[in-house]
Structure 1
Amino acid sequence: MLKKFAVAVGGAAMLAVPVTAASAVTPSPLTEIAAQNLWHPSGDVSLDGNQEVPPADLDGSGRLRYFVWGDLFCYRLSVEGISTPTAAHIHHGKAGENGPVVITLGTPKEGMSEGCIRASRHQSESNNATTLTRQELQGITEDEWFHYVNVHNAEHPGGAVRGQLG
């Protein structure tokens, strides 16, 4: 079910951003935010192949911009210089180490993906890669050094480009 979520920025502007249930990624909710110049990210992460473990696509690069507001995680992910992406995730793991998937992001197949994910209280074994829990969201905001984003492709199934959130 699609719900509207009001976002206050600087106390002056209100914006209705569509979001879905905890496990779903909403396509293109940030377009209106960007058009109104309301984009103020909590994090701005650079991705490259040297940060992957082991290093991967050295010609590739990317950027993740995200913000967290309450239990809402919104992001814009862009990549270039890599073959067609097949997946994108945020993982738990510090620099130089690989770790488990925390949440699956939209795949930037045409170079960019964006969306908003509402954290939920619970997840199951079958949906743990697509459901962000409130505890995981808290970990992203409080321990960003222990989280990274990466984008996968067929040539580099373990990840082509990567960037630490903190």
Structure 2
Amino acid sequence: MMEKVGLGGSKPTTTLSGANEVPPITTKASGKSTITVADDRTVSGSVIIDDLSATAAHIHRGSKSENGPVIIPLTKTSDKVFSVPASAKLTDAQFADYKAGNLYINVHSVAYPAGEIRVQLKP
């Protein structure tokens, strides 16, 4: 589902799952992301998780088939919600990665410290 917002950006709702991890994992955990990137490179939104005791969540650099470094740590705002920090903004190189489909959201747990659920950010 896509809802248009200002600055030419979009407000997608996307689903995080273990099947999107590299390598894929089997888990009951899931999540929904409303994280968006505006044309001015600002990042906003949050991730809501289900069936998961998360230890951390981040936006990473990496294609669909690779794991990569953290570029924006998300802030845990409740037991089930991680939010983008208010001042988050991508660099020019990170924005180019975003446009190429090479950024992803990953939620980590004790059972899966490298990531339990994931989704690529789509421009």
Task: Specify the TM-score bucket, using the shorter chain as the normaliser.
Answer: 0.7 to 0.9
- Deviation, 1:90, is 1.1
Displacement, 1:147? 1.4
State the secondary structure of the residue aligned to 2:35: strand
Q: TM-score, normalised by structure 1?
A: 0.59
Distance in 1 (alpha carbons) for counterparts of 2:6 and 2:60: 31
Paired residues of 1:150 and 1:163 also in contact (CA < 8 A): yes
8 A Cα contact 1:85 1:109, kept in partner: no
1:52 equivalent to 2:8? Answer no
Q: 2:60 aligns with which of 84, 91, 100?
A: 91
- The whole-number CA distance in structure 2 between the counterparts of 1:56 and 1:67 is 26
5 Å-filtered alignment, 1:1-166, equals: 41=11, 43-69=12-38, 70-82=40-52, 84-107=53-76, 110-115=79-84, 116-119=86-89, 132-140=90-98, 142-143=99-100, 145-166=101-122
Normalised TM-score (structure 2) = 0.77
Distance 1:63 1:108, change over 3 A: farther
Aligned to 1:18: none
Decide whether the 8 Å contact of 1:93 with 1:100 is kept in 2. Answer: yes
Q: Secondary structure at the match of 1:136?
A: helix
Which structure 1 segments of 5+ residues have no match? 1-8, 12-39, 120-131
Identity value in percent: 32
Q: 1:44 to 1:138 in 2, by over 3 A?
A: farther
Highest CA radius of gyration, 1 or 2? 1
Which letter maps to 1:136?
Answer: Q
* CA drift at 1:150: 0.6
- Whole-Å Cα distance in 2 between the matches of residues 54 and 10 of structure 1? 36
Q: Give the AA of the match of 2:93.
A: Q
- How far apart are 1:71 and its partner, in Å? 3.7
Q: Across the two proteins, how many residue pairs are aligned to each other?
A: 114
